A = this chain, B = another copy of it.
Amino acid sequence: MRDPVQTRKQILDTAFWEVYKNGFQGVSIDDIVAKTTVTKGAFFHYFPTKNDLGYAIVDEVLTQAMIERWVDPLAAYKNPLQGILTTLRKFIDDATEESMGLGCPLNNLIQEMSSVDPIFRQKLNAVLEAWIEGIEKYLKKAQKDGYLKKDANPRREAEFIVMVHEGAFGMTKSFRDKKVFGSFYESLKKYLYSVQNHK
């Protein structure tokens, strides 16, 4: 594999999964190199330090993964509130005991790294912020189109929606019980119903 863009991408994708499964501090550069086709020398050409790799995972893999999963699907719905629920429903239906046990890759890194390394924290905040702003953008649209009540605050609602997702992933990481996702879905539905215009 001689294409540097592809090689970098292969390292990042492999590293993302290793970090997701083992934590950033629980994985070594040797572990990651062993799962790719690059040599350790080549690895250091792309990422001079383990932290450089960690930052690139957050900037280049995690941000995109979160937005693709939780924000982009909302474009398909006239009523974004319905889009939020349907996107969550699909996610829950696909969840396995293994995936529940892994938790959310963003939440994992926040809890592990945000108090350990200020640059990690800053980059993880940017992912959270992108997710919140993505939801906020759709909630503003929902308000403009008459789906969200006029007195709702799109920013605050977006913060709450992201917060309950992370809370649910954190709890199912430990319980590994789909019933918990059921409580999450039913309560979020009730909450969104309370901020929705019922024409």
Query: Chain A residues in contact with chain B, CB under 8 A?
Result: 23, 25-26, 101-103, 107-108, 110-112, 114-116, 121, 124-125, 128, 153, 155-157, 159-160, 162-168, 170-171, 173-175, 180, 182-184, 186-187, 190-191, 193-195
Q: Is the CB of A128 within 8 A of B186?
A: no
Say how many copies of this protein the assembly contains. Answer: 2
Alpha-carbon gap, A163 to B168, bound state (A): 6
Q: Which of A163, A175, A187 has the most CB of B within 10 A?
A: A163
Q: Is the CB of A184 within 8 A of B163?
A: yes
Taking chain A's interface residues, is the majority helix, strand, or loop, or is none over half, making it mixed? Answer: helix
- Shortest Cβ gap from A186 to chain B (Å): 6
Q: Which of A108, A167, A194 has the most CB of B within 10 A?
A: A167
Quick one: given A163-B164, A163-B167, are A128 and B183 in contact (CB under 8 Å)? no
Alpha-carbon gap, A19 to B38, bound state (A): 38
Q: Is the CB of B170 within 8 A of A107?
A: yes
Residue of B nearest to A182 (CB): B156
Residue of B nearest to A159 (CB): B183
Alpha-carbon gap, A116 to B108, bound state (A): 13
